[in-house]
Structure 1
């Protein structure tokens, strides 16, 4: 479909306005992190690195950052394992209730965060009697981060020819060997993209975290929320917000690049590298 020059111009202007509306507030946060005016007067009269120095020297910021990274890494690992296994089960096997399980796996990411947070808080504190801690946050994050891994893995499995796995089995390879040498190489980029998205999703999550984190513990988003309305901390909050923006954008950008791989790039040339050898069949007497 060809568009006229006027139609292209109108669409370009609309797109530019939408992008400006979305990203201008983020740009203001970045600029204010260098604004020498504590009250963020606009336009900035001068710039400073003082707030960045304070953020680096703040023990609270460092602890919150370390906690966020710890939670995101562990929840991503759990999500990779569970998401991959679920994708293999639902794509490679037919069984009663498969469609229902597929819906239940995807549902956590579609539910409002506050509903998920309240439900998990009740589960941990009322039903299980488990004290809230970093581990409850990790479990909570894994419930919805797993969906990104699952979606990426099952989409790749639908594009991959299962004959390679059948050939591996015919040559005598077991289930584990087939997965490691045949299936996993074909899923590698999809799992990496899903893992990066899961990390970014966990790192900046705040609603579910608020309901499942223990007393005295803070992730970076929770630290921002706690200090947002404290005048003395406002400049430092802008710096921490910029850090959060960067840490969130980089994994998403990498995941987007990995997800753009063509179908030809998923063929995993040299699968097995000769490690899957034909099983010896005893000759007939």
Structure 2
């Protein structure tokens, strides 16, 4: 983990604050990247980097206060002030911006954060793009001032003024769609947009279901065979056997525990991999995904 200092704390909208973080030798990052922030010892939360990747000396994250959440956002809002020191991970990117002639960016609420640097990157690349930004109320929609500089390519759609985002029309453009926001928005876009034109990032795990049966995992590097009970994850079973794998969210959203699969059939239950990556069967998130075969061989 890296140590950074909060050098600015800014109210961006109702219940949204941003934090500017500075540290020595901060790693580079690309649009779509996120970091883990330690809100209490051993308790991590994931936040997208929403500043400028060209600014090597600082990072920016934005945090929505969730009063019904687990307490991480309340801690950052209420307890962390300018001058405070935080522990954060190196950036990871499961939401890379792929080259394309045209993009439709779709944000719901705090889902604007990973899309901010993408908009700037698309603009710098000379690509055609539009941003469709929905929220419950204008007062709760962060970074509207920054986005105003892009003119009519940004469509701000507060629900109480204009209703829901016109997703069918947005998807019909034929552009590559990047979408981040609450689960109902993501699910709706998934239903409308062909998978080969869609990139999603989830802040919450998607709902999955399936049998929870016992199976066997062979850890090829350590030579150990581990039984995974119906009531435990592959990650937990390997941990108990002394086979350490880095992890963070433990709910299939951050990508930290992604593990190569050498043999066997995976029951993918994560919210990170694309359909193509799932179909290849070459990797899995061992915190939530399981086996469809009796045995998996993992490169750990």
**TM-score higher than 0.5:** no
Give the number of the structure with larger relative contact order, counting CA–CA contacts within 8 Å between residues 6 or more apart: 1
Q: TM-score, normalised by structure 2?
A: 0.20
Q: Larger helix proportion, structure 1 or 2?
A: 1
Larger Rg belongs to: 1
**Greater percentage in strand:** 2
